[in-house]
Structure 1
Amino acid sequence: MAHECDDCGEPFQTLSRLRLHDCSGTQSDPFSSSPNSAESASVDSSPTEQRNPAVTELDDLLDRFSDGEVAALHDAVVEFESALSAAVDGDSGGDAFRDVFWQYYERVSNGLDEAARANGWPFLEDVLDAHDPTIGDDVPLVTPAIANAVGRCLIRTRITDGVEAVPVRALEYLDAVAVNAPDTDDVAREEVHAYGWGIGHPDHSVADRLHDRASKDIFSVNPTLEHAFYADQYAAVDLLEQLVRDESITGTLPRVTRDDMPHRRYLLDCVYGLKTDDYWPGMPRYYDWHDELAYTFELDETVEQRIRELVDETGFDTDLSDEWTFRDLGI
C-alpha cells in the first residue's frame, strides 16, 4: 500500500519513509537531516512540544541522566519510543515525527554510548532486550539510536580489545535489524553497517551472514563489507572474492545511459576509499571513530593486488581506463 504526503503528494511505500521525508521545495534524502535541521533541533524554534507533550518528559529524563542518574536513560529510551509513536498517531504528514526524531536521535545515541562506556556492555544489552527488533510486526522506532550505540561499542571494542572481545549479542542484534527492518527503513539499516567490524569473530560468522544476505540485501551488504576492510582487510578480501565470484548473485542496478550494473560489480564499490586517507565510512552517525581512536589504515600490497586481479578476472574492468584506481570502482 502506498502512502501519500498530504503536503506535496509524493507517494511512499512505507510509513517510515513518509514520516521522515523532507517535502520542502528541493528533493533530498528523506532520512538525512533536512536543510533546516539546526532549527528543528532547537526547542525554541520547533513547535514539537506543542504537538507532542511527551517530549517534556523525555527532556527531563535525559537531563537526569546527564546529572548522573543512569537508570533514567532506560526510561528515556522508552519515552523516546512513546514520543515517536505519539507523533505518528497524531500527524500523518510526518512533521511531528521528524521534529521528535531528529531532535533526540543524536542525544539518545550519545547517552547510550556514554552509559555503555561507563557501565559496560550489560547496560546496553538490557536495552536491546527491551527493544528487540525480532518481536512484533515492525522494528521499534528507537532502533536507529540503539543500533548507533551498538555500532560504536562494536568498533571501539574491536580496535581496543580485539575481535574476540566483541559481544556476540551485539552482532546478533545488528544482523537482526538488517534482516527485519524494511528495505526503505533507511536510518535503521544504515546504522547496521558497523556489523562488518565483527568479521572473523570466532563465535559468529559475519562473512557467512553477509554471503547469505547478499542476494536480497546488496545495498546493506556493500557498505558493511567496506567497514569489514578496516577491521580485517585479509578476511574482508576473502569475502569480497567469494561474493564477486558467486554467479548466483544475479541482481542488477538500473542505469539510464548504460547497461544495468550487476550487483557483483556494485560490490567492488566497497573498496572506494581504501587507498586514501581523506575518506572514511560515515556510519555510525555522530561518531568519528577514526579520530576518537586515532585509527590509521594502510592497504596491504597483496590485498590490493588480489582486488585488481579479481576485477580483471571477472571482466569488470572493461569500462575502466588502463590506469584505473580504486576510486574508479566507486558508484
Structure 2
Amino acid sequence: MIRLLACLALFFFLVPVTYVRGPLAPPVDDQYIALEPIALDPRHPERTRAGQLVFLAGWKITSDNGEFGGISSMVILPDQRFLMLSDNGTLVGFTFDEAAHRAIRPFIAPLPDGPAKPNAFARQNWDSESLVHNPATGQYWVGYEHQHSIWRYGSSFSRKEAANFPAAMQQWPENGGAEAMLRLADGRFVVFSESAEHAEGAYRALFFDSDPADSSSTAQAFGYRPPKGYKLTDAAMLDDKSALMLHRRFTPLDGVSAIISIARLADFQPGEIATSTPIATLEPPLKVDNMEALAITREGADSIVWLASDDNFSGLQESLLLKFRLLPEKATEKARSARRQKQKAEASPGFSAFESDGSLKR
C-alpha cells in the first residue's frame, strides 16, 4: 500500500499545480522529506566563494524512508520541482519552498521498470546513475550500471517506453557504466563511463546519433579526460556550446573533494579525447561529500548551479543539496587580478599590514 501511495504521489507531483503556502501538514507514511539549512564553511559561515561559484544556500536532506539516499542524478522542473534519482532505482521528488526550507508534495517511489525486476536486492540490480529530461515531450532517460543500458520513460514515469543495451557499453566495468548523460539540442546524446579506460588517462564516452534507448541508434566512441585523480559523476548542459562537468575524488589522506569544470561540446568528437576547464573546487573545510548530481537552472540572467551528494546509504555520509551562482569568466578574472595586485603589494618593501590608525588592513 505504501508503494502504491508513493507511485500515486509521483504522478501528481509531475503534474504542475500551484500551491498556497500554509502550515506544514504532518508526515504521511514515510514520504516526509526534511531540509536543514547549512553553511558552505561551517567554521566561517560568511564564506561564499569557491572559484567561479558563489554559494547561495545549502541544505542537508533527510527522510525516515529506508529507500531514501544514494542520490546520483537530478533534474529541476519548472516551479522548483526537484526530481532526484537514487542509485537503487528510486525517484525522490518535491516542490522546493526555499524560503521556508521545506519540501512540498514530497514522494519517494520506485521506477516503474528497470534492468532487473524489483526485489529485495533491487539496490544491487538497479544501479541507476544518470538522468536527463526532454521538456518538449516530458520524456526521461535513465542510464544504468551493472546491466549497462539506457531506458526511456514516459512523461509521468508511468511506464517504460524503450530500453537498449548498446554493444559498445557491454565491456565497460560492472561498476563503471553510464555515470553521466547529456541530451543535446539536436536530439543526439552523449553517455560517459565513469571508469572504462580509453587512452592517455581518459575514460570511454559514446556519442549517440539519436535516442540511445532505441536499438537503431548508432554509437561512436571518444575519450573524456577528467582532472587528474578525479572521476566524472554527472554533467549538465550549460548552453548550446558548453556543458558543466562534475567530478569527485576520495583519498584516505585528503578525504572527499569535488571539481566542477566547463567542457566545450565541440570537443566531443568521435575518436578524439576531450578535456574541460576547472572553475571551482570543493574540499574541506568546505561542506562537501560524495557529490554525484548536477543540475542547472536560470534566475534572470544568472546561471544557477545545483549539486547533490550520494550518501551511499551510510550513516557516515550525508545527502547534501548546494546552490551556487555561476560567475561570468570576466568577473572571475577581475577577482584574480585584484588578488594578484594585493599579493604583489604585500610582498613589496615597506608594505604594512596595518592602517594608519593601527587597525588591520582588510
How high is the TM-score relative to the length of structure 2?
0.27
The structure where strand makes up a greater share of residues is 2
More helix by share: 1
- TM-score under structure 1 length normalisation: 0.29
